[in-house]
Structure 1
């Protein structure tokens, strides 16, 4: 009887241990690939793909295989870039609260394994995108190169312009999605690029204000850590102002879209200006940060909604 009970106990313990390992693996994978960044970029890639279908009068259903290749390839390239960022930043990540739990810091995944997985993910993603169009693959590689080499390895630790440099990589997802359908691109595709490029600076500068001490401790020269909050506030407002005319370059999406996008811009600008009158800079930065996330989601959802009558035909 004792042997039976011991065996049953061992089976239960082994099962619990297996579950713990699976949970840990999934948590490590999510952290390594920065799934939040991957998912948000895929949303933008989808919008670019969808609008390309709309403007070329193509059928979404007829291009379902291209769509799957585009999304899978983009996800792998973006994840590969994020893992390379984790791999390279292993020396400064322990200093920051939001990054000190990464598997590269805790050692739950070896750096050599992370590097191999990152390079393999990137390569596989680019190969998948080549089955759509070569232009889509080249644009994806450009974004990866900017993020990994020009941002992570070069400018991030040297210049306050690191945010602007990194914004080039964050602005390419809509171009990837569009180029997979229409390699010639379109004026609207470049406007989407500009929206993403300009949006990122207020978003990440707000985060930099929130995490100012951590960036200082890590030696990362983010704008607020080097020049202070007042200059950063002005920069945020200037970038938001630059978004104001962009909806009018997408007039082909209809008046309803222009009005709603303009209202979104005006709301963000109002919050931005309020920062010059608020005493609590961290509270203001959090308002800017949260609004920026909702802004991006609503803007691109509206683009899909106002063009939803055609692509499934």
Structure 2
């Protein structure tokens, strides 16, 4: 029995539970601050770009471990830094929107000063690490960072529906970071990877904007469905998905298996896009488009790695 009248074993148990809860809260806050899902989605193309660059230059993966670690850690830190700064800047918007109101910048679990310091520190360390790979890789990382932080977050997001186009550029450069750590980016493969990621992000983001239309409207964010309505957004989704159709055929070097699977994925997505013109449940349809888009890009970029495995045999 301690002076608070609580038996010692029970007190120890309560302390342990409190510590576990605090640890759990911190992990949850950090995942939200780093936008864990978005971060992972952007890191995969960095890896795929690096992997394909090795494959197409007949370079050994095992002989370049240090370069691989510098590229992946540096690229991840730059992307994380940009996402953290986005959280810092968008705290007023996040306070209004239901899906973001539990971020630590809103709840106050992590102070805005600490968040900004983290964002700058991660960005700088990431750039420094990438400079130990190639200058071109660092330049592409800066292009992505500047586009996302300055042109998207601070300039266009609240003002123009073109914010989605601008934001898509930042995500599309990620495979170029990986590719140019090995060789020059003036090659058809990284250009096509850029186009696939750029175009994919448009219907993906439009689907999110449709699902969260009321929240974006309340926050004053100029997303396409908020400004021009669902009918226009559905047409835009269809057009952008259609633009994906020819791109796998520019990657013939990846083989027939890749082209066939990628084309089937594109046709399926296009069919879902067409269905949107006839459905009466826009929210359900937008959710399907969102889920499909996430799986689409994951499968596609993992498939690029799988079909090139024999090149390392």
Alignment TM-score > 0.5, same fold: yes
**Structure 1 position 271 matched with structure 2 position 277:** no
Equivalences for residues 108-123 of structure 1 within 5 A: 108-123=109-124
SS at match of 2:311: coil
Contact preservation (8 Å) 2:199, 2:241:
yes
Instruction: Name which of structure 1's ranges 210-219 and 280-289 shifts more when overlaid on structure 2.
Output: 280-289
Partner of 2:52: 51
1:40-77: CA deviation from partner (whole Å, max 9, x where unpaired): 11111111111001100001111111111111111111
Q: 1:1-313 to 2 correspondence within 5 Å?
A: 6-311=7-312, 313=313
Equivalent residues of 1:47, 1:177 under 8 A apart: yes
Aligned mates of 2:116, 2:236 — CA distance in 1: 36
2-structure distance, mates of 1:88, 1:36: 19
Q: Name the SS of the counterpart of 1:101 in structure 2.
A: coil
Which sections of structure 1, spanning at least 5 residues, go unmatched?
Answer: none
CA distance in 2 between partners of 1:210 and 1:123 (Å)? 35
- What is the Cα-based RMSD across aligned positions, in Å? 1.4
Unaligned residue ranges in structure 2 (runs of 5+): none
Question: How much does 1:22 deviate?
Answer: 1.3
d(CA) in 1 for partners of 2:62 and 2:127? Answer: 23
- SS of residue in 1 equivalent to 2:206: helix
**Equivalent-residue separation in structure 1 for 2:257 and 2:92 (angstroms):** 49
Deviation at 1:12, TM superposition (A): 2.8
Number of residue pairs matched? 312
Q: Secondary structure at the match of 1:98?
A: helix
- CA distance in 2 between partners of 1:49 and 1:295 (Å): 20
Q: Distance in 2 between matches of 1:141 and 1:162?
A: 18
Deviation per CA, 1:120-170, whole angstroms, max 9, x where unpaired? 011111111111111111111110110011000000000011000100001
> Residues 51 and 2 of structure 1: is their aligned pair in 2 closer, same or farther, counting only changes over 3 Å?
closer
Can you list the C-alpha shifts for 1:193-245, whole angstroms capped at 9, x where unaligned?
A: 00000000000001100100000000001000111000110001010111111
* Alpha-carbon offset, residue 182 of structure 1: 1.1
Partner Cα separation in structure 2 for residue 5 and residue 224 of structure 1 = 57
Counterpart Cα distance in 2 of 1:137 and 1:65: 16
Mapped partners of 1:14, 1:6: distance in 2: 12
**Partners of 2:202 and 2:273 in 1: CA distance:** 13
Inter-partner Cα distance in structure 2 for 1:90 and 1:305: 40
CA distance in structure 2 between the aligned counterparts of 1:94 and 1:256, rounded to whole angstroms: 46
C-alpha displacement of 1:10: 3.6
TM-score (norm 1): 0.96
Deviation of 1:9 after TM superposition, in Å, equals: 3.8
**Offset at 1:287?**
1.2
2:203 aligns to what SS in structure 1?
helix
- TM-score, normalization: structure 2? 0.96
